Structure 1
Amino acid sequence: MRASRARPLNQPRAAVVEARVDGTPVRVNRQPVALLREEWRVVDRWWTEEPVARRYFEVVLQSGENVVVFRNETRGCWFTQRGA
């Protein structure tokens, strides 16, 4: 039997996020956000041609699902890291 190839976990997937003026998500993939649990920023690789600047949010959707989303600050697009 051949060993299967390892697959990366929690790969980011494009998401449709509606946010307030301050950037806080209110809907993730059309599902209302019930609670904002945590927010943090990641700024890395600033010395390269492709720096990383992300604003992360851990939210609980109205359905009860726990989701981590982030906004790519450089490109202005949203992704889910876990859930939804």
Structure 2
Amino acid sequence: MPVTVGPGGRPLTVAGDPVDAIRESWLVEDRWWTANPLRRRYWEVVTVGGRDLVVFRDLVEGSWYRQR
């Protein structure tokens, strides 16, 4: 999922749609004791068009995804 980011990793666009507001951001760290830890930064955003989306960046691999 193409996401452009600004300072602090804040999403500026999601799939080409400009982000109007950030509702919430949170960090999830789990399975740190395993060979495959889970580390993600989630963002709930509202686009200029009014879409409410939750996207996250996998902090282990660096890729962005949309929560469904």
TM-score normalised over the length of structure 1: 0.79
User: In the alignment, which residue of structure 2 is the partner of 1:27?
Assistant: 13
User: In the alignment, which residue of structure 1 is the partner of 2:42?
Assistant: 56
From 39, 45, 53, the equivalent of 1:67 is 53
Classify the secondary structure of the residue corresponding to 2:29. strand
Q: How many angstroms does 1:22 deviate by?
A: 1.1
Amino acid at match of 2:60: T
Gaps of 5+ in 2: none
Question: In 1, distance between residues paired with 2:8 and 2:28?
Answer: 17
- Structure number with higher helix proportion: 2
Question: In 2, distance between residues paired with 1:64 and 1:44?
Answer: 32
RMSD: 0.7
- Structure number with higher strand proportion: 2
CA radius of gyration, larger in: 1
| 1:38-78 CA distance string (max 9 Å, x none) | 00000000011110000000000011000000000000100
Question: In 2, distance between residues paired with 1:79 and 1:21?
Answer: 19
The count of residues paired between Structure 1 and Structure 2 equals 68
Query: Structure 1 vs Structure 2: percent identity of aligned residues?
Result: 46
Gaps of 5+ in 1: 1-14
TM-score normalised over the length of structure 2: 0.97
